Amino acid sequence: MKIAVIGTGYVGLVTGTCFAETGNTVTCVDIDVNKINKLNSGKLTIYEPGLEKLFLRNQKEARLHFTTNLKEGITDAQIIFLALPTPPGEDGSADLKYILGVADELGKIISNYVIIIDKSTVPVGTADKVYAAIAKSLPTGQAGATVPFDVVSNPEFLREGVAVDDFMKPDRVVIGTSSDRAKKTLNELYLPFVRQGNPIIYMDEKSAELTKYAANAFLATKITFMNEIANLCEKFGADVDMVRKGIGSDERIGRRFLFPGIGYGGSCFPKDVQALAKSAADVNYEFKILDAVMEINEKQKLNLIPKIKAYFNNELKGKKIALWGLAFKPNTDDIREAPALSIINALLREGAVITAYDPEAMPNVKALLADKIKFTDRQYDTLMDADALVIATEWSEFRTPDFNNMISLLKNKVIFDGRNLFDLTKMEELGFHYESVGRRTIKP
């Protein structure tokens, strides 16, 4: 098939590349000239494991193209994916100006039947709004008759860091449409991805839109619940790792998303939980669980700060703090809503001096914070004469470090671990002062 993907952000780039990998001809469209020039020169604009190999292969095979010209990009396309940003507005609602703006332009230039798909995470009712925007812009006298089109909701369920696997081997494909014509085409499009038997689930457009928000809101709630249990464990002297194993073995609960830490971040959970709560408020429904989730998560990002202040007797001015991890999760360079940023800002307000390391996210933090903190090219260099180490992201390379090297570099054998990476007995044997989340404090 010939496919157009409008928007070359995280979702758009992964979507376009993966569809090209199954033999489709894909053109990705974006208004950012610099980004398109970079992509056309064979350079990715995001970090995502496994994506570069597919990206380069499909460019070489002339199945993956990039342009800033919308009309050129959608020429002869059977399917147009809208993978545009939906940033939160001041009131928490998802801002649809980019999607509706493109919809208006599409109405002026489509000339044959086409399926237009909302791939972005959008509020309930967006498909109707996109349809109306396109229909309104069609040439006078042609609306709906001469140029038929369908608008479909097909939300993405990609996890940053494993997005390629998620796309190529999805747990499920959710498609919201009442059009039999669209169903037939999309069934053919997605068949290569579900050969192992995972379902393509058809539903109405509004249910598909709500499914995406409901999924992310539930996972965010699960994480937040476990963080609350971790905080309670600290009060009782219980071990959250044991509690996690005890409840995770219940198949009704499951083991995933039960790891406590310093809160969730990224481009999806914070924005989607906020948007669903706002959508509920718009129909006069008070979604109390989501309000609590958002409030607790913001507090959880600062979970380590009172522990750090207590250790240093509330005297953090001039203390050198080493920070491992800046991205909101491992295997990505995404720092949106990253707990590390909340920690950095809180420590800076206390007068601490911060030296940070992250395998991928440092350029993004440098662009945001400039010279407010220092950066090192290697993880151990951050530890030189540091008064303490703070761990904010669970990168694999942090899990089994050279502890002897760490001891030789740190001024004090002190670790505040926001991701519970290290074994408590090991920390005790090595003589560290070690504080984590929901577990006992190790004191030398």
Q: Which residues are catalytic?
A: 268
Q: What is the spatial distance between Cα 219 and Cα 214, in angstroms, rounded to a whole number?
A: 9
**Nearest partner of 305 among 265, 250, 349, judged by Cα:** 349
**Nearest partner of 388 among 410, 407, 373, judged by Cα:** 410
Which residues, 6 or more positions from 384, have their beta carbon under 8 angstroms from its beta carbon?
355, 409
Q: What is the full DSSP assignment across 65-128? A: EEES-HHHHHTT-SEEEE-----B-TTSPBP-HHHHHHHHHHHHH--S-EEEEE-S---TTHHH
* Residue 289: exposure state from Cβ atoms within 10 A (0-12, 13-18, ≥19): middle
Classify residue 46 by its DSSP letter: S
Q: What is the spatial distance between Cα 88 and Cα 209, in angstroms, rounded to a whole number?
A: 16
**Nearest partner of 179 among 199, 152, 157, 161, judged by Cα:** 152
* 8 A C-beta contact, residue 186 and residue 199: no
